[in-house]
Amino acid sequence: MKYSKIPLTTPPLYLKNNLASTDQHMAYLSYNSDKLKLNVVNKKNKEVRLISIDDQSIPTSIQYMSDQTLIVTTMNGYYIYSENGQQQHHKLRNQLGDISQYFIGATLINPENQKPFYAIGFENKIIFVDQKTPKQEFFGVNLKNIQPTCLTSYYQYLIYGDSKGYIHQNKCLAIQQVTETKSLNLQTKDTTILSISVLEKKDTETKVLVIVGDFIGRLTVVDLMNWEILCVINSHIKPVTTLAINQQREQFLSGSDDTFINIWKLNQNLQPQLIQSHHLDDTIIVGITSDIFVAAYDQHELIYIENN
């Protein structure tokens, strides 16, 4: 197995899923002289672009959308960028306010025959933002006593985890037409959901699977359409800090505070099989991409693992 490294000016901060990726770029968050920075890495020439974020609050998520847009959330706001880091829009509250109320997580919803829009978690609700005109913001989903921790989507389906070990879904027929929330208890005894992604398993029929990583190191596979748990595995001995999907190979990757990166493939019974495991000494893994670039907390390099 070959390893190579990309040197970084500023190391990744400790934040779950702190390495977003497209085919051409990667992005992560760091601090430099106590200032929050967005780092955008060109995969081809390995150049790193450093962009200041004028926000004194704590960052909560970074994610590329399926339209290649990059969204960063902090406790106090959200920032929308182009793929290479050109800022397009931002929304800040006037003051920091209650620390129990913060933005976290973003995803792109693609309803059938309707305009796509962004979904962004905030307090006990999820707000919707118009894709073409981000200044247009709509009240999306009232979560009542649900505090979202991470978001993903599958076409018109909005899927999110919370701090009490549940995942939830809403079907978004349009930006102002959303079904009632369906919830599923993952039986984790109030364990926070840290990462959530979607994998298509194509066989005689396509299965849409939600992959969930939690604070105690477990991975749970859920059938999205039937909304039922298919299996639970103890994948790591510490929190699952990051997930990535390799749809082409029908694989998913998990990274953890325990210094391990695991690569999984589902068998015909939809049970995860461990096909590779990589141990990175003295690292706290905070981000991983489908092509196996790895970000580690406070490390001045991204690690690339060549996977033949």
What sign does the CA torsion over 229, 230, 235, 241 have?
Answer: negative
pLDDT at 39 over 90: yes
CA 198 vs CA 19, 136, 152, 245: distances in Å: 17, 27, 7, 7
Of the two residues 307 and 153, the one the predictor is more confident about is 153
pLDDT at 133 over 70: yes
SS3 70: strand
List of domains in the chain: 197-307 (2.130.10.10)
Q: Residue 157: which of 188, 127, 198 has the closest Cα?
A: 198
SS3 83: coil
pLDDT at 98 over 70: no
138: number of Cβ within 10 Å: 12
Distance (Å, whole) CA 300 – CA 11: 5
pLDDT at 93 over 80: no
Q: Are 235 and 241 within 8 A, CB to CB?
A: no
Distance (Å, whole) CA 242 – CA 62: 12
- The pTM (predicted TM-score) of the whole model is 0.94
Of the two residues 95 and 165, the one the predictor is more confident about is 165
Question: At 219, is the pLDDT very low, low, confident or very high (cuts 50, 70, 90)?
Answer: very high
DSSP code, position 77? E
Of the two residues 3 and 31, the one the predictor is more confident about is 31
pLDDT for residue 97: 52
Average pLDDT over residues 87-101: 69
pLDDT at 102 over 90: no
Q: What's the pLDDT tens digit per position in 149-192?
A: 999 999 999 999 999 999 999 999 999 999 999 999 998 778 99
The fraction of the chain above a pLDDT of 90, given in percent, is 81
The region of weakest confidence among 87-101, 173-187, 194-208, 287-301 is 87-101
Tell the burial category of 244 from Cβ atoms under 10 Å away from its Cβ (0-12, 13-18, 19+).
buried
Distance (Å, whole) CA 78 – CA 82: 14
Average pLDDT over residues 124-148: 90
155: number of Cβ within 10 Å: 15
Q: What's the pLDDT tens digit per position in 41-71?
A: 999 999 999 999 999 899 999 999 999 999 9
Q: For 247, list phi and psi in degrees, rounded to 5.
A: -65, -35
Average pLDDT over residues 219-228: 97
15: number of Cβ within 10 Å: 21
Q: What's the pLDDT tens digit per position in 257-277?
A: 999 999 999 998 899 999 999
Q: Are 37 and 48 within 8 A, CB to CB?
A: no
On average, the pLDDT of the chain sits at: 92
CA 254 vs CA 73, 122, 216, 262: distances in Å: 22, 26, 13, 5
Alpha-carbon 28 to chain mean position? 12
